[in-house]
Amino acid sequence: MLARDLAEPYPYVTTDEDAAHAVRLLARHRLPALLVVDADAAPYALVPCAHLLGRLVSEGRGHDEAPTRTAGLTVADWLPPGSSSLPTVEEDASLTRIADLIARTHSPLVAVVERDGDQRWLAGVVTAARLMERLAGGET
């Protein structure tokens, strides 16, 4: 079994989208991390929600002020400095390669990319939970 066989859709935003949209996406889907792609749909960043919460609410501030913290910002503007890069694999990566990458990066998911020459784009993701299910012999 290869990455392409386990890849599944995952909600994402682009770097130039409104940051408030990203906040709503995270909340609506209860995502563990924000997946960001660039304008060409190539993986750009994966930022755990825990890192983004500090951007919304600082100590001593009420939750009523959180939406105003993203007003007028793009996703690229809103991302914390040094945002983690997104662990990626090609479609033909093995399950062992994916498991190793998830373990080394402590990432909840790995992006699966398709490639055509120098162009690459997001084909889907393999979540740690989905990989664990497969490795444990569960349904896929």
pLDDT in tens, 23-43: 999 999 999 999 999 988 989
- Domain assignment present for residue 117? The answer is yes
- Domain assignment present for residue 109? The answer is yes
- Domain assignment present for residue 140? The answer is no
- Domain extent at residue 57: 3-135
Q: 12-22, pLDDT tens digit by residue?
A: 999 999 998 99
The total number of structural domains in the chain stands at 1
Stated as kind and residue range, the H or E segment containing 100 is: helix 95-105
Plot region of 40 (φ>0 → left; ψ -120 to 50 → alpha; else → beta): alpha
Q: Is 105 exposed, middle or buried (0-12, 13-18, 19+ CB in 10 A)?
A: middle
In the predicted structure, residue 55 carries a pLDDT above the cut 90 = no
CATH of the domain at 95: 3.10.580.10
- Domain assignment present for residue 64? The answer is yes
- The rounded Cα 136 to chain-centroid distance in angstroms is 24
Position 50 scores a pLDDT of 84
Question: Rounded distance, CA 73 to CA 112, Å?
Answer: 28
